[in-house]
Amino acid sequence: MLPVKLLSPLLLFSFFSFCQKNITGLINAEKAFAQYALDSNTRDAFVKFLDSNCVVFNEGKAINGYQLWKSREKRTSKIIWAPEFAAIASSNEYGVTTGPYEFKASVNDTALARGNFTSIWHYNTNKEWKNVLDFGISYTEKRNPVTEIKSYEIIAGIKTDVNLVTIEKAFIFDYNTNGVAAYKKIAADNIWFNTEGQLPVNGINSIEEALKKIPPAIQFIPSGMGVSYSKDFGYIYGTARLNDKQQNYLRVWIKENGEWKLLLQTLGLSN
C-alpha cells in the first residue's frame, strides 16, 4: 500500500467519503463500489466491497456471495449501476441502497440485461462500509440515468427490544389471510417495491398498481435477518414459493413513530 502522503487529494477524498458513518458515507460506498467495477473489473469489485459473509441468492437459495465472486475469473463484461434510493438506521451502522443496473459484454456495448439491485450495508469495526446482502431483479425496459438520489434517515426514538421474526410472521399471516391488502397496513411513506419483471415503484401514493403486479398466494419462508443497534432498522430474507417456482425475497423494516413499517421489498417472483 502506498504511504498516505503519496495519495492524491482526489483519492483521499474518495476514501474518506465512503468511510463516513452516515447517509453520505453509505451512498458514497455504493458509488465507490460501482466505480471500482467500472474502472477495474466486476470480480475484483465484489471481492473488495462484499463482506466475507455477504448473502446472495441463486435459484431460491441463499449462498455466500464473497466466496462466489472470489472463485470467479476476471472478465471484460461490465455491470454498470448507480444508487437511486438509500436509507439508514438512526445508529448509522446499517443501511440499504437500491437502483438500476445494466449488464454489458463491454462498457460500450448494448445492454444484455437490465434490472434493479438492492444492497444491505453494514459499517463494521474497521470503520468501513461492507455489503452484507446483494439481491437483484431484472426487467426489460431501459431507464434513464439516475439524476437524483432519494434518501431517508430514521429519526431516533425510544430504543426497545425487537423481534423482527415476530413482525415478519405477523405480516405473512395477514398476507395469507387478506392478500396484498396486507401491504397497505404496514407500508412506509417511502416504500419501495422491486419485483421481478417489473419496473421499480417508490412511494406510498404509487403502490396501488405495484400491488396488482405482486403474485397472489406466495408462500414466504424467512431464513435470515439483521437488526441495527438502534432497533429501528432491520432486514429479513428468505424463500418465496409460488406453485412450482422457488425464488427469494427481502424485506427492510423500519420503525416510524413507534410503529414498524415496511420500507422496501425485493421479490424474485413474477406473475
Instruction: Output the nine-digit C-alpha cell for 203.
Output: 412511494
Domain chopping of the chain, boundaries? 4-153, 164-267
Convert the pLDDT of each residue in 161-193 to its tens digit: 889 999 999 999 999 999 999 999 999 999 999
pLDDT confidence bin for 17, thresholds 50/70/90: low
Cell numbers placing 71: 472463485
Higher pLDDT, 44 or 158: 44
Give me the pLDDT at residue 212, please. Answer: 86
Beta strands 85-88; 150-153: pairing state:
parallel
Predicted local confidence at residue 59, as pLDDT: 82
Average pLDDT over residues 205-217: 86
pLDDT in tens, 60-112: 899 999 999 999 999 999 999 999 999 999 999 999 999 999 999 998 899 99
Please count the helices (runs of H) and the strands (runs of E) in the chain.
7, 14
Return the percentage of the chain with pLDDT > 70, whole number.
93
- Tell me the residue ranges of DSSP E strands in 89-186: 94-104, 113-123, 129-139, 150-153
CA 16/CA 28 separation, integer angstroms: 10
- Show Cβ contacts of residue 67 under 8 Å, excluding neighbours closer than 6 positions: none
Predicted pLDDT of residue 220? 97
- Looking at residue 4, its pLDDT comes to 35
Same fold, 4-153 and 164-267: yes
Is the pLDDT reported for residue 18 higher than 80? Answer: no
Confidence of residue 7 (pLDDT cuts 50, 70, 90): very low
CATH class of the domain at 164-267: alpha beta
Residues 115-159 have pLDDT tens digits of 999 999 999 999 999 999 999 999 999 999 999 999 999 998 878
Q: What does the block give as the cell for 257?
A: 413513530
Predicted confidence at residue 157, as pLDDT, reads 82
pLDDT score at 80: 96
d(C-alpha 92, C-alpha 153), whole Å? 9
pLDDT in tens, 236-256: 999 999 999 999 999 999 998
Could you tell me if 93 and 20 are in contact, meaning their C-beta atoms sit under 8 angstroms apart?
no
The CATH number given to 4-153 is: 3.10.450.50
More confident of the two residues 126 and 59: 126
Angle at 197 between CA 195 and CA 203, to 5 degrees: 40
